[in-house]
Amino acid sequence: MDPASTISAILSPITTPSAQPVIVQIPQMNATSTDYVAWAGFLLSLALGAFELWKYWNDKPKLKITFRFNQEIMGLTGDGRISNMETGKTFWSVDVANIGSKNIIITAIEFTRTDTTKTGILTKDYSGPINRYTLIPGDNHSYTIGNDLIDPKKAMAVFIKDATGKLYKKKIQYKD
């Protein structure tokens, strides 16, 4: 066979014998009550599986961090009057609330300042030394800090570190 005849054979239309149509019969199915129950069970289990997956991804520790500025510490005198315990001193506080569904153990509180690149770790607040503190879901804790220790006008952000090493960051926006 020469090359010209090979090319013409390839380019010529392919002829096939005429084919008979194939008829396929699909059996009729009548749905019974068990079919409906099976479908309802399938859809319900699919919805519950999706809900459990959503719950798994959202079930993590969450902290809400708020600040209160320009506070004075007041106390009761022996005759029932309120007096300023630290005359002339103002304080600010960092309030930490656990809004998640798991316990969180707070191990450290760190601050960054606008006037330096260094971070400071809060080791003592007004109530005493800062130790590991466990926040159960729905619980909160306040850390009271003197303006002379960390000036809130110069503080830029606070970092709360938990026992797993995760940092929760909140930018400080000072308000008079």
Is the model's pLDDT at 53 over the cut of 80?
yes
What pLDDT score was predicted for residue 46? 95
Report the alpha-carbon distance of residue 99 to residue 154 in Å, rounded. 28
Residues 115 and 143 in one domain: yes
CA geometry: angle at 149 spanning 68 and 139, to 5°?
Answer: 40
Tokens matching residue 74 = 């007041």
Q: Measure CA of the first residue to CA of the last residue in the chain; give whole Å.
A: 99
pLDDT tens digits, residue range 101-155?
888 888 888 888 877 776 677 766 666 677 788 889 999 988 888 777 777 888 8
What pLDDT score was predicted for residue 52? 93
> Is the pTM for the entire model greater than 0.85?
no
Tokens matching residue 81 = 């009057």
| 44-53, 85-94, 104-113, 160-169: least confidently modelled range | 85-94
Report the alpha-carbon distance of residue 69 to residue 17 in Å, rounded. 93
Give the total number of structural domains in the chain.
2
Report the alpha-carbon distance of residue 114 to residue 154 in Å, rounded. 5
Helices (H), the chain: 3-11, 33-58
3-state secondary structure of 26: coil
* Residue 13 in domain: no
Q: Report which of 98, 145, 99, 103 is spatially closest to residue 124, judged by C-alpha positions.
A: 145
* Residue 108 in domain: yes
At residue 49 the predicted structure's pLDDT band, cuts being 50, 70 and 90, is very high
Spatial neighbors of 78 by CB under 8 A, at least 6 apart, are none
Of residues 120 and 8, more confidence is placed in: 120
Residues 71 and 91 in one domain: yes
pLDDT tens digits, residue range 19-38?
677 777 767 777 788 888 99
Is the model's pLDDT at 55 over the cut of 80?
yes
Residues 107 and 157 in one domain: yes
